[in-house]
Amino acid sequence: MMTNKKDLVIVYRIYPGVSKIPLIHPEDKFELSKVAVKSLKDALGKLNVKFWIILDNCPDIYENLFKEILFNYDVEFLHLNGVGNYGTYEKQIEILINQNIAETVYLAEDDYLFLPNALEEAYKYFNSSNDVDFITIYDNLDYYKKQLHSYQSVIRFHSKTIWRTVSCTTGSFMTSKTLLKKNRWIFETLSKNNNFDSSLWMSLTKKNILQLSSLYRFLKSQDRDLIRIIKSWLFCWRQILFGKKYKLWAPLPSLGTHLDKDGISPTINWKDVYEKYN
C-alpha cells in the first residue's frame, strides 16, 4: 500500500566532477548543476513530487543548491563517500523499488537540461496507456545518426507531444516501481557486468537485436553497434529469449537533452533554453 502518496518519486544522483564535454560550463560542475536543477524544477509543472538526492562526494554547497531551488518539495538527501557512478546507480534503484510513496518513478542523472513542464508531459503520457512501459524525455541524436536505429516505430500523439517507440536510451528514464523491480537484474547488468546502457535497453525493447548488417559494418569500420548487440546477448539472453517485449517511448521534438555536446537533441535551440537559467 502506498503511504503519503505522491504523483512521482525522483531519485537524482550527482557528483562534483564533469563527465565527457558538456554543452555548458565544461569546467564548472556547480554552475552546470544550477542550470540543470532549475530546469528540472520547471519541468515538474504541477506534479506532486518526492525527491531523494544522492550526493556522491559532493561539498555542502550542492545540498544547499537543492534546498534553495526545491524548497517547496519533499526532499531527502543521501551523502555517499565517492562510491562512483555504479554505486550511486545501484542505490538509486534500491531506493525506488523500496519506497511506498509513488508507483511512477524517475531515475535522474545530473547532466540533463529540461524544457518547462517536460516531466509533467511525460508523466501524463506514461499513465495514459498500459503499453507505455518506459519513457525517456531525450530525443537522442543517435536515433538519426546510427544505422542501429533503422527500425519501424509506433507513433502516437498525446496532448502537445508526438511520441515514438525507440530501442534504447540513457540512464535517465521514467517507469513504474513494479517494472523497475521486475527488471532490476537487467538494469544492474550495467554495474555488475560492465554492460552498456544501450545493450540492456535493446534486450528490453528487442529492436534490432538480430541486426546482421551490424556485422558487416563492424568488419568494415569497427562500428560499435555489433559490440552493443553482443553485450546484450551475453548479459541479457534470458530477457531476449524469454522476457516480455517492452515499449520505450521518446518525444518528438525532445523534452530535454543530455548535455554531452556531441549528443545534443536536434531541432531545438538549447542555447535559448539554458540562458534562461544561467
**Which residue, 196, 202, 192, is CA-closest to 239?**
202
State yes or no: pLDDT of 48 exceeds 80: yes
At 54-107, the pLDDT tens digits run 999 999 999 999 999 999 999 999 999 999 999 999 999 999 999 999 999 999
What angle do helix axes 225-242 and 197-205 make, rounded to 10 degrees? 40
Residue 251 phi, psi (nearest 5)? -85, 155
pTM over 0.85: yes
State yes or no: pLDDT of 210 exceeds 90: no
Distance of CA 201 to the CA centre of its chain: 11
Rounded alpha-carbon distances, angstroms, from residue 7 to 11, 44, 48, 90:
14, 10, 5, 23
Residues 6+ apart with CB under 8 A from 260: 20, 21, 22, 23, 111
At 108-147, the pLDDT tens digits run 999 999 999 999 999 999 999 999 999 999 999 999 998 8
Q: How confident is the model at residue 179 (pLDDT cuts 50, 70, 90)?
A: very high
Q: Where are any strands of DSSP class E within 27-129?
A: 49-56, 74-80, 104-108, 112-114
State yes or no: pLDDT of 248 exceeds 90: yes
C-alpha cell at 79: 551523502
> Which residues lie across from 13 on neighbouring strands?
54
CA distance 275 to 35: 9
Q: Which residue segments constitute the domains of the chain, with CATH numbers given?
A: 8-183+246-275 (3.90.550.10)
The widest CA-to-CA distance across the chain, in whole angstroms, is 56
